[in-house]
Structures are given as structure tokens and as C-alpha cells.
Structure 1
Amino acid sequence: MGRNESTRSHDGHGHGHDHGGDTTSSRKLAAVSLINVVGFVVELAGGLAFGSVALISDAVHMLFDALAYVMAFAAASIAEGYDNGERWSYGLHRLEPFAAFLNGLLLLPMVGFILWESYQRFLDPIAIGTGPTIAIAIGGLLVNVGSVVVLHGDAMSLNEKGAFYHLLGDAGGSIAVIVSVLAVEVTGIRAVDPITAALIAAVVAWSAITVLRGSGEIFFLKTPLESGEIRAHLTEIEGVDRVDDFHAWQICSQITVATVHVETGVETMAEAETVVSRVHDALDRHGVDHATVELSPRYADRDVHLDTHCH
């Protein structure tokens, strides 16, 4: 039996497949983006007008998520337009991690600004317009609740789930602003406002670093799978004698690609095709969306084979 190589897309990410679900997800993200941009403008204006740095911090938190949704929507829309292009092997789906990385990078200076303003306000606290600030914070909370309603469903996409949990965090930020303003009103300790702002900024910074790390892992081709577990699973397949080489990486957060070279002792093409199909099915169960399986005969002298075969 000669060398056998097979490539298969497993779940609709291959060329020519329907992206109706992605389009629906993009529309939801676009709606949430618009809602959050409006909320950001209102909270920022209110924070500047009524002297609450905590409200400004929450506005930046909302802006971060809004930018993430806008970039995800734009990246998905552009990627869909190039999904079947011959010049782009996997379309432009790499725009998703690029947009996420850019978003996280741009957020860090904003966090620095909030921390600096919080420090200045801590040293020299100013009076806060309690009533208007609470009203705006409640409005921000309603924005988050409305966004959650838009996204919530029986089957949310990965992007929608990410946005959903971010929105829960935003809601927590709005609640923190409300509590801090009430605390200032009751206790008279104005330092509560900048302390709350610094805490929200810390949460935003953690989110930004998480996004930077996640997108960086995609760019530097970190495998998203348990390679050892997959190798062990593949070697249990009837007809697979050895898993000689296995690599897996991500094009974006929703497309995982893998290549695997296995050795086999089968002798006919029909048997070889069966082995390849089983390997594809196993990779599919492990979350691989697009796989290339290379099948070759078992070598009696493996050292000679390795000297002549480039992995």
C-alpha cells in the first residue's frame, strides 16, 4: 500500500458551507454593540458631568465590551465574504483574533488613565451628584440586562457566550457604582468612589490581559487540544499501528485545524480508506473542524524512515 492522504472539513467550516448561524450571531452582536455604545456615551457624559470616576470607569468597561462586539461583528462579516476565496485558504477568519488582540491592547492605556484619575480623586475627593449618578448607573444596568435578553437563547454561539458573560460582569460594575454612590451619600467618605473605580479598572485590565493571552495563543499556534489524549485515542483505532506525528492549531476561536500522520499495517486501499475515515471521526469528536490525515505503511526499519521522511 502506498502513502494515503485525506483532508476533510468536519462541521461546516469548510468551503462552501452555510453560514446562516454565523450571520444570526453577527446580527445579535451588532445589536448588542449598538446598545452598549449608547450606554457608554451616556455613562461617560454622566461621569464627567457629575464627578464620578467610578461611573467613568464603568463606562470604559462598557466601551471595552462594545468594541469587542463591534470588532467581532466586523471580522465575522469580512471573513464570510472571503470564505470561498482561492487565495485565502481559510478565508479571513484570522481577523477575529487580530481584532481581539487590538482591542485588548488599546484598552490598557484607558485602564492606566482610570487608575491615575482614581489616584488623583483619592488624594483630592470631590462632591458627586448622587441622584443623577445613580440614575445613570441604573440606566447602564438596564443596558446590560437588555443586552443579555438579546443574546440569551437555547443555543448560543461561542462569541455569544463570551459576550453574555462579559455583560454579566458589566452588570456587576453598574451595581458597584450604585452601591459606591450610596455609600458616599450615607457615610460621607468620598474616597469610596475612586476606590470603586480602581477595582472596576482592575477587572477591565484582567479582561484585557485574558483577551491578549487568548488571541496571542492563536497567533503563536498553541494547540487547543490535549495532544496526548488524542494520540492515545487514535492508537486505539483498529488499523492504526502508530501515531507518528500530530499537530493542531486554531485559525480563530471557532475553527480548529489538525494534521496527523499515522502508520498502518493494512494492505488494501479499501482498508486504508476505512482507517482514514475512523481517524477523521475520532478527530471530529475531539473538536477538530478541519483535518488532514496522512496514512503510510508500517516501516520495519523506523530509523531509516525517519532519516528520509520530513515531518
Structure 2
Amino acid sequence: MIDGHAHGHGGGTMKAAHTHLFLGDNHHRNERRTWLVIAITTTMMVVEIVAGNMFGSMALVADGWHMSTHAAALLIAALAYLYARKQANNRRFSFGTGKLGDLAGFASAVVLALVALLIGWESVLRFQSPIAIDFGEAMFVAVIGLIVNLVCAWLLKDDHHHGHDHGHHHGDGHAGHDQNLRAAYLHVLADALTSVLAIAALALGSVYGWLWLDPAIGIVGGLVIARWSWGLIRDTGSVLLDYIPEGEDLPEEIEAIIAKEGGEIVDLHVWQLGPGHHGAIVSIVTDHPRAPSHYRDKLAVIHDLSHVTVEVEARAA
């Protein structure tokens, strides 16, 4: 349902009752799950650090502190959810707080890129200065980390499918998705990937004594994580810059609907307001002007169009 403004002839304004609440459909659910994942991660962190110090396991202590950086990254997503919800009706946010998730996702993507860089750098150093590995202890830690990360990934997986049949297509496969949740999910998935690769490297290393395999697989993992990071930076950055991705047909849908009403669009701006929400400013010239509300009603069939401003002018003689 469209909530928006419609500007009529001669600068007159006709307003429809509306709010600027452009949060994703599953905002509350995703927020709760993110906090739950942080709780699980923090608990695991404390257990590993305490157990590592009690039993003299440096591998456990190191992984515990690694968990702390993981929890800190997830905190970006959780705080973004909280702030966006608390400030959703703050009128100083002209178009609501729906984009805060994309901003947090962009920040998380930068952190993920740094993680990939650090993994790569540490792996290169390991090539130059190999260290002795306690394969049994390291395997134990990696398996525990993998289990925890798989549970967290399951909690954060975006399994919500939009069932709206409105003929609207998203070219990049991510428009309308919660990029904040996607960022948190990729952080967890990156950790799971490093655990899987570590287990493989340790298993082969323990059998054949290949110490070089651990840093080699570390570099591969860093490259994969860097690729995920770039994809997230690209998608969230596009939303923040109001870029309409290739294949996004919402502008064409608007033009087709207005053309059926005998109007010509002379100026059109479309941008994303939040997950599943778009705004549009539509300037129409026509030989037979109708009230702006008429065009808004026609555009209401586009479900993702949540905020519309319509300007109507009579075609010059």
C-alpha cells in the first residue's frame, strides 16, 4: 500500500496520512536472532579462554580471543537493528531509518575485508616462519568452532521468501533483502569456512607432516572471504548511493502504468528506503491531467513502492 505525498497543479499539495516506517518485514525477528548469536559467541569465547588458561592450551585461548573480535563485528549489526527500531519514528530522518541496515552492512563488509587481509598476512608469515602445530588440540578447537558457527549460521540464515505477486524483479538477487542480516551471516560463514579449511589442513598435516598446508589453505580462505566482502560492499554501497542495479525493473513498471493513463514521465527518481521498500518521485505531463491521487492509486499495485510523490502538469499547448 502506498503512503506518500501527491503534488497537484499550481503547486497545491494533497497529503495522504502516512508514516516513514521502512524497516524490513522481519526486523524484530532478525534483531532477536542477532543478539542470540552474540550471546552464544560470547559464551563460547569465555569458555574457551577460561578452559585454555586452566589446561594450558594456547590454541583454545587464541580461538577465544578470535571469538571476541567475531562478537564485536556482530555487535555492529545488533546495534544497527536497535537504533533503527528506536528511531523509526524520528522525523529528522526524512525517509525513515530503513537504510541503517545497509550502512551497518557496509561497515561490517569493511571489517570482513580486514579479516581476510589479516588471515592472508598471517598465512604469509607462517610460510616464512613455520611453527610446530599440536594437531590433536588444534583439531579439537576447530571442530568446536565449526559446530558453534554452523548453529549461528542457521539462526542468521535469511529464510524469508516474499510471496507478493507483483511482477517485480530484482536484478542483483539482493534488493529487498536485509543486508544487515546478510553481513552478520557472512561473518559467521567466514568463521565456519576457516574452521572447515583448518580441519582439512590439520588432518592432512597430521598424516603427511605438511606444515605448509595450513598457511596455504589460510590464503585460499582469505581470498574467498575477500570475495564475499567485495560483494557485500558493492551491494550495500549501491543502496547507500541510491543506485538502481541492472535488471531492476521498477522504473519501467512505473513508466508503463503512467503511459496507460495517457501520461508522459518527464522526471523520475526511484531509490530504496529499506528492505522491501522503495520511494519514487514521479513528474507527469499529460493532455488530460487527473488528480495526483489517481496516479498514486494506479501505482499502488507495485508492492515495493512504499512512498510516492506525484507531480502533474498539463502539456503546453
How does the TM-score come out when normalised to structure 1?
0.74
2:253 to 226, 230, 235: 230
Aligned length: 286
Cα distance, 1:215–1:7 mapped onto 2, change above 3 Å: farther
Q: Hey, what does 1:244 align to over in structure 2?
A: 266
CA contact (8 A) 1:71 1:96 kept: no
Q: Aligned equivalents of 2:213 and 2:46: distance in 1?
A: 23
- CA shift, 1:267, in A, is 5.0
Identity score, percent: 25
Tell me which residue corresponds to 2:174.
Answer: none
Contact 2:278–2:305 at 8 Å: present in 1 too? yes
Q: Aligned-pair distance for 1:277?
A: 0.9
Q: Which residue of 1 aligns with 2:134?
A: 129
Residues 81 and 101 of structure 2 are in contact (CA less than 8 Å); yes or no, is this contact kept in structure 1?
yes
- 1:89 alignment partner, SS class: coil
Judge conservation of contact 2:97–2:274 (CA < 8 Å) in 1: no
Q: Distance in 2 between the 1:20 and 1:252 partners?
A: 10
Root mean square deviation of aligned Cα:
3.8
Distance 1:223 1:89, change over 3 A: same
Query: Counterpart in 1 of 2:315?
Result: 298
Q: In 1, distance between residues paired with 2:103 and 2:155?
A: 26
1:308 aligned residue: none
Q: Deviations over 1:160-215 (max 9, x none)?
A: 46655664554333222111100101111111000111111112222222232223
- Partner in structure 1 of residue 207 of structure 2: 186
Q: C-alpha distance in 2, partners of 1:115/1:18?
A: 37
The answer to whether 1:278 aligns with 2:298 is: yes
Structure 2: distance between partners of 1:196 and 1:24 = 36
- What SS is found at the alignment partner of 1:121? helix
Q: 1:205 is matched with which residue? A: 226
Give the C-alpha shift of residue 28 in structure 1. Answer: 0.8
Secondary structure of the structure 1 residue equivalent to 2:92? coil
Amino acid at match of 1:70: L
Which residue does 1:303 correspond to in 2?
A: none
Relative to 1, partners in 2 of residues 1:17 and 1:255: Cα closer, same or farther, differing over 3 Å?
closer
Deviation at 1:111, TM superposition (A): 3.1
1:116 to partner: Cα distance: 2.1
CA contact (8 A) 2:283 2:310 kept: yes
More helix per residue: 1
Q: 1:65 to 1:146 in 2, by over 3 A?
A: same
Distance 1:109 1:18 in 2: 29
2:125 is aligned with 1:102: no
User: Which residue identity does 1:127 align to in structure 2?
Assistant: A
* Within-5 A mapping of 1:84-103: 84-103=89-108
- Judging changes above 3 Å, is the alpha-carbon distance between structure 1 residues 6 and 100 closer, same or farther for their aligned structure 2 residues? farther
State whether residues 99 and 273 of structure 2, in contact with CA within 8 Å, keep that contact through their aligned partners in structure 1.
yes
Q: 1:289 aligned to 2:306?
A: yes
Aligned to 1:306: none
Contact 2:23–2:98 (8 Å) recurs in 1: no
Q: d(CA) in 1 for partners of 2:114 and 2:183?
A: 23
Closer, same or farther: CA 93–19 of 1 in aligned 2, 3 Å: closer
Change (3 A) 1:243 1:299: same
Give unpaired runs (5+ residues) of structure 2. Answer: 1-7, 162-176
Question: Counterparts of 2:140 and 2:16 in 1: how far apart (Å)?
Answer: 55
Whether 1:31 aligns to 2:52 is no
- Is contact 1:260–1:294 with CA below 8 Å preserved after alignment? yes
Deviation at 1:78, TM superposition (A): 1.0
In the TM superposition, what whole-angstrom CA distance separates every residue of 1:217-249 from its partner, at most 9, and x where no partner exists? 223221253365335423443x24212111112
Q: Is the 8 A contact 2:98 2:275 kept in 1?
A: no
Q: 1:218 aligns with which of 235, 239, 243?
A: 239
Shift of 1:250: 2.6
Amino acid at match of 2:198: V
TM-score (norm 2): 0.73
Deviates more, 1:36-45 or 1:17-26: 36-45
CA contact (8 A) 1:111 1:204 kept: yes
| Letter matched to residue 189 of structure 1 | W
In structure 1, C-alpha distance between the alignment counterparts of 2:290 and 2:182, rounded to whole Å: 46
Match of 1:177 in 2: 198
1:114 aligns with 2:119: yes
Q: Separation in 1 of the partners of 2:101 and 2:141?
A: 32
SS in 1 for 2:305: coil
Give the distance between the partners of 1:141 and 1:35, measured in 2 at CA.
13
